Structures are given as structure tokens and as C-alpha cells.
Amino acid sequence: MYRRITVKGLICVLLLASWSGAALAGEGDVVAIIKLKGAMTEAPDALGLGPLFGSEAPPTMYDTLKKLREARKDAKLRAVVLDVEEAQLGLAQIQELRAQCAALKAADKDVLVFCETLSNGSLLLGSAASELVLLPTGEVVFNGMYGEGMYFKNLLDKIGVQADIIHCGSHKAAGEPFYRTGPSPEADAQNNWLMDSVFEQLIEGVAESRGLPPAKVRELIDQGWFSAKEALEAKLVDKLQYREDFIASIKTRYGKGTKVVSKYGEKAGPDIDFANPFAIFKVFGEMMKSPEKTGKPAIAVVYVEGAITTGKSEPSMFGGSSNAGSATIRRAIAEAAADDAVKALILRVDSPGGSAIASEVIAEATKRFKASGRPFIVSMGNVAASGGYYVSTLADTIYAEPGTITGSIGVVGGKLVTKGLWDWVGVTTHEYKRGRFADVMNTNRPFNEDERKLIEGMMNRVYAEFKGRVLEGRGGRIKGDLEPLAGGRVYTGKQALDIGLVDELGGFADAIKAAAKKAKLGTDYELRVFPRPKSLIELLADAFGSKKEDNEFSAASALTAGRLATLVANSPELGFALRAMASIDPAKAKAVARFLSQVESLSQEGVILVAPPLHLQFTR
């Protein structure tokens, strides 16, 4: 794909993309529009090449929080307009943004939200605004929480595949989709308990922000569907206005000289003297440079986003990562540890887990950073469960939002028996074996009794190591014995705080403040993301095949989550099916993609640390 693009074309597109950014308004008051569009990834866009392929890169949580932080300090800024119409946010992200709305209002900045329609998530976020405006013909779907788990046993039966799964932990339900058609009683009880906590947080958030009794909010949820007029009468929104009238009211409220900035906080394009034929080469030279260090003390930020795998992280072309590769993350932490300017580390975790080996590699890297005597803080996003919790355990302080899904301290192992599939398509095999357990992962049959004991012994060791890491990091902060809290049980951040699995309720901004305080940095410091962003020359080198080989050994999986997705997408039949599913039912498509990733990890390692399959939806 890269090789079909000429260098000349690449330069022109990148320069045009850079010109599209709008600078901040000059004189006069400012009203900033900040757009939240699509699913929001955590890490800043490492490549920034979305425009090259005809798409606008979606905003990331990192960039959005940075803009809101700048907005609080901007003396000219009067208000922030949040455009949340197309946002797809998790509960923890909504709670983080609600906290930012409160901080803006505390800084005497208005927060305005205009929506054509409102659903559970956008209402929860919009209710925290100074003013929530709805289209007069819009509708509000405020009908509570819905969640579902997907189970693939019948599918595997149809294609002749049998799942032979082993769990460590009575409530470790992550393997159940492989061999059940619905949840076990233990998993069902856990899911209901978890959903109760999330539902209460939805009610409490809206009740607090809209000044309504919680009992009244429950009544409204059971009503479910509201016209714009009914929503106004129920005090779910503040005003009914058409978009044009809403925009005009901004001018009226803040004065005609107020400038409405549609791309607030985005980098301005280069100032090119077109009379000078060599000016463009000067700009191109600037783009080729690696980012310069400021000389300020720094807080390092490393992201663990997506399924945890061995090998390298594979950044998405449009922001975020398709996986959290242990080799990439380990090196990023080591790079931060070797930087004398780095005075603290924040690990931002948004992951349901994955490879047990990869999780241990990352946890060990955090331990080595912590041994340098510098603060190590974890900030949890929407989910930091199983392997996502494993990599967090050694932190000095763990921050989670009330709605963060965390815990799931347990282990899943096993294999998929595919003989029925190959019999169905007419493929036969002949086996050869040397050694008693040489074929323990043989996909032609389930485990025998001796093999099951062998696998269980290995899994028990991994489970003991998991609990050992938790006790090593959490120590006396765990309230009670660990085993009754482990066993694969899953918690919201609010529940996890009560039992000592996390230390504080708060978001990424709170973690930054804590890291700066522990490192005694005051207010004059910078955030530095690791791995460091690449310069354009490095991106070109990677794209055109001149990338240097790594100079150290690293574990590399034969097939990462990103490569799995690529292979499936490149299959005409499967690719079309998944793309169609993503258009018709994106939530289920995401669940299927996650299942395929787990199949891959299970096939490669046999033992994985993943969270159970409950998928909560906040949007219609």
C-alpha cells in the first residue's frame, strides 16, 4: 500500500494536511468547539497520516484532555462547545470528560452541549454541561443499560471444533464463550452485580448534574423514550433550539466580536512564502526533524491499549493501536527509565488483557522503573482487567474511574480441537510422536487426564504468580484475604476501591497531578509520550522498507492481533462478512473480533489472562 504512493505525492498531501489546522483566535474573546467523533482511542496518533488516505483521524483521549487543559488556562476563552453527536465513548471516558466539564466551570468557563438526539451516554456527558441544548424535533432515548455476552459453542459445533478449556478461579468466565451457550450461574451472578454498579452510576451521575432525585431518574429511565418537549419538561435538557439559532445565541451571549474556533488547540499550518521557490524545502526540512526536547523535567506516559500480546505494538493508521505489544511497551518503559529528564511514569491502561507472558514482561518493566526510586502511577481507562490489571499491580497509586472495569484476577487455558472441521472439509492427518507430552497441544483430540493435570499445574503456577504480583504491589492495601477477591471476579472502579484493588477514583488528569506532586515538580513540567513520536523521515524509512533491524532480542508472536485482523479482512468472504457486520451491528462485530484475538492467543500460548465477555452499550 505504501509503495504505490510517490514521495512527491506524500509530501504534497502532508503539507496540505498541515495547512488544514486552524490557529487560535487572535484578539477578542474565544468560544472553542471541540468535536468528539467515533470511538475514542487513548494514545496520541503516532503516525498522523489519516489525511493521506482520505480520512480524518478521530480525536484521541490524550489530545482531547490536552485541549481541555489548555482551555482552562486560556484567559480569552469564554466557553467550550462540545460536539458529541457522533461520539462513541465508554463509561470511564464519559466520567473523565464529566470531570473536565466540572473543572472548566470551576475556572469560570461555560460548557455548552448541542445535540440533535440524546442517548444514555450523550445524556450522561451532556448533563454535566453548563447548558444542554436539544433540537426541537430531536428525541431522547434514556432507557437504562443493556449488556450482552456472546457465546460461540454452537458455531464451533457447526464447523466441527471443540473447545477444551480450563479455568483457574471459580468466577473466571473468560473461557465460557468457547464451550457454553450462555453464562454459568457464577458468571451470571457476577455480571448482574457488575451491571447493578454501572446502572447506579448512570442514575447518580444524571441525578446529580440535573438536580433530580435518583428515584425520579429511575422513573424517567422506565419511561425510556422522550420527545424534545417531554425531555425539556422532565428537566433532562435546558433548551430547545435549532443549530442555527444555537450558533446565533453564542454571538449574542458573548458579543459579536467573539471568535468561534472550530479547531481549537490544533497546530497551525506552516507560514510559507510562496514568492520564494525554496520556501517549501525549508518547511519540508522542519517536518523531517525529530521532536525536540524542551529541557524541562518530564512525566513519561506509556499506553497499554488493546489486547496484550507478545512482540510489537501495531499502531492503527488512524490513531491508537491494534494491540499492546509487550516488546514495544517494555522498550518504551526502559527508554523512559534511561531518560534523566523523566521524573515519574504514568501507565495509561485500557485493555481487557491477553497473553500471560506479555503481561509479565510489562509488569517486570514497571518494577525496574520503580526500582529507580521515581514515582509510578497507573491511570485506568474503560477497562483494565485480567492482564490489564496484572500490569498495573506494582504502581504506587492506581487511579480508576467509577465505571472502569477491572480485576478479573484469574487464568484461562486450553485448546481448540479442530479434527471435526478437517474431517468435514475432507482433510486427514497422520501423527508421529516422540516424548510423553509432545502432543499435549494436539488439536486432533481433547486433553487426556495426565495432560489436563499438566496444564492445570502450569496454570496454577501462572495464577500463583498473578496473585503474587498483586500482593507484591498492593500489600496491606488489599482489604481481606486475596483469594475471595480474586478467582476471576470482575469489579467496577467504585467496587474495586472498596476492596483495595485501586487507590483513588479519578481520571488521567488526576494521575498527572499525583505524579507531579510525588515527583515534586510543581507546575513547570511536560508530558512526554513513549515510545517517542517518529519524525517524517523515520516514517518514510519504515514505509519504503529501509527500516533498520532491531539490535536486541525480543519475543515476537507469529501472528499478532493486528495481523490476524489484516488476514481476515483480506479474505474476500470473511472480510466482506465482518465489514457488513460492522456496519449493521458494530458492537457484535467488535465482540467477534475480540473472540478471534482470544482464539489466536489461546492457540499460540495455551494460557491467557483475559476479562469475561460482557459488553455494555451506552449508545443506541
Task: Provide mean pLDDT across the span 390-408.
Answer: 95
pLDDT of residue 597: 67
The per-residue pLDDT of the chain, averaged, comes to: 80
Is residue 172 a part of any domain in this protein? no
Q: Does 213 sit behind a cis peptide bond, omega within 30 degrees of 0 on the bond before it?
A: no
> pLDDT value at position 276?
59
- Find the domain containing 11 and state its range: 1-20+269-289
Q: Are residues 450 and 522 in the same domain?
A: yes
Domain count, the chain: 3
pLDDT, one tens digit per residue, over 345-379 is 999 999 998 888 899 999 999 999 999 999 999 99
Name the band, by pLDDT with cuts 50, 70 and 90, for residue 72. very high
Confidence of residue 9 (pLDDT cuts 50, 70, 90): very low
Confidence of residue 419 (pLDDT cuts 50, 70, 90): confident
DSSP string, 353-370: EEEHHHHHHHHHHHHHHH
Is residue 157 a part of any domain in this protein? Answer: no
pLDDT, position 587: 59
Same domain, 433 and 565: yes
Find the mean pLDDT for residues 486-511.
94
> Does 413 score more than 90 pLDDT?
no
Report the pLDDT value the prediction gives residue 472, as an integer from 0 to 100: 92
Q: Is the pLDDT of residue 457 over 80?
A: yes
Q: Is pLDDT at 267 greater than 70 in this prediction?
A: no
pLDDT of residue 24: 41
Mean pLDDT over 94-119 rounds to 94
* pLDDT value of residue 23: 38
176 inside domain:
no
Q: In the structure, what pLDDT confidence band is assigned to residue 536 with cuts at 50, 70 and 90? A: low
Question: How sure is the predictor about 53, in pLDDT bands with cuts at 50, 70 and 90?
Answer: very low
Q: Tell whether the model's pLDDT for residue 16 goes beyond 50.
A: no
Of 285-299, 317-331, 578-592, the range with the lowest mean pLDDT is: 578-592
Residue 285 to residue 265: CA distance in whole angstroms: 24
**Percent of the chain predicted with pLDDT > 70:** 74
Q: What is the DSSP string of 184-234?
A: -HHHHHHHHHHHHHHHHHHHHHHHHHHT--HHHHHHHHHHEEEEHHHHHHT
Cα separation of 563 and 547, whole Å? 19
Distance CA 388, CA 409 (A): 10
231 and 344 within one domain: no
Q: Does 25 score more than 60 pLDDT?
A: no
262 compared with 10, residue with greater pLDDT: 262
pLDDT, tens digit, for every residue of 555-577?
A: 433 334 444 444 444 455 555 55
Q: Locate cell 496491606: which residue?
A: 476
Residues 539 and 440 in one domain: yes
Same-domain status, 483 and 578: yes
pLDDT at site 93: 93
pLDDT band at 589 (very low <50, low <70, confident <90, very high): low
162 lies in some domain? no
**Closest CA relative to residue 368, chosen from 335, 408, 397:** 335
Higher pLDDT, 470 or 430: 470
Give the pLDDT confidence score for residue 458 in this predicted structure.
Answer: 86
Instruction: State the pLDDT at residue 580.
Output: 57
| Same-domain pairing of 441 and 398 | yes
Out of 23-27, 68-72, 511-515, least confident range = 23-27
Output 315 or 454, whichever has higher pLDDT: 454
**Are 445 and 361 part of one and the same domain?**
yes
What is the model's pLDDT at position 528?
93
Residues 251 and 273 occupy one common structural domain: no
pLDDT confidence of residue 51: 45
Please indicate, yes or no, if residue 422 is contained in any of the structural domains: yes
Local structure of residue 181 (DSSP, 8 states): S
- In CATH, what number is assigned to the domain containing residue 517? 3.90.226.10
Q: Are residues 235 and 354 in the same domain?
A: no
Region 594-618: mean pLDDT is: 64
Q: What's residue 46's pLDDT?
A: 57
Examine the domain organization and report whether 335 and 273 are in the same domain.
no
- Judge whether 619 lies within some domain: no
**In this structure, are residues 30 and 255 in contact, taking their beta carbons and an 8 Å threshold?**
no
Task: Tell me, yes or no, whether 154 lies in a domain.
Answer: no
Query: Which residues, other chains included, contact 1 with Cβ-Cβ below 8 Å and sequence gap of 6+?
Result: none
For residue 431, what pLDDT band results from cuts at 50, 70 and 90? confident
How large is the average pLDDT for residues 123-131? 94
Residue 380: alpha-carbon gap to chain centroid: 9
pLDDT of residue 617: 55
Instruction: Look at residue 589 and tell me if it is in a domain.
Output: yes
Are residues 304 and 336 located together in one domain of the fold? yes
Q: What is the pLDDT of residue 440?
A: 86
- pLDDT at position 480: 86
Q: Are residues 256 and 317 in the same domain?
A: no
Instruction: Specify the pLDDT at position 356.
Output: 86
Task: Report how far residue 390's alpha carbon sits from residue 304's, in angstroms, rounded to the nearest whole number.
Answer: 12
